[in-house]
Structure 1
Amino acid sequence: MPIAPPEISLVETRRVKCDGAVSIRRGTNFASAALGHPRVFLEIDEHGYVDCGYCDKRFVLKGGPADGADHSKLPDVSAGAS
């Protein structure tokens, strides 16, 4: 049975970037990118979401088919990473 991704970010564009440091930011003290992972660019497809292959953060297209869905029931979609 799939489980929900550790972090979900609602976005307004189909192309997103992730460096892993976002999930470790606290208040106004930002963690170094060295604590994250290499920056990757991801493309949201017809599923309406994409998962980062490094940190499993899920990016959900605002107003798309996955917006408001129960993400614990959706499979990982990491295709389109570059």
Structure 2
Amino acid sequence: MSNKDVAACIRAALDEYFKDLDGQPPHAVYDMVMGCVEKPMLEYVLHRAGGNQSKAAEILGLNRNTLRKKMQLYQIE
């Protein structure tokens, strides 16, 4: 799947979200999207790295401490 395809999927999901609001004001869209994407991404990369946080942080382009904070935020062990 290309970046273009991923972007199209995200746009379609956001279109559906705003449609489902049925006139209600949106709230915390950024946090909602990041929560939907970031946790499974972190879990996937940690799994691919064999649970090695330093290796996962390198793959993600994050500092290891940042990864650990995100793991705590999402309650990832």
TM-score, with normalisation over the residues of structure 2?
Answer: 0.21
Q: In proportion to residue count, which structure has more strand?
A: 1
Of structures 1 and 2, the one with the larger relative CO (CA 8 A, separation 6+) is 1
Larger radius of gyration: 2
Q: In proportion to residue count, which structure has more helix?
A: 2
TM-score, with normalisation over the residues of structure 1?
Answer: 0.20
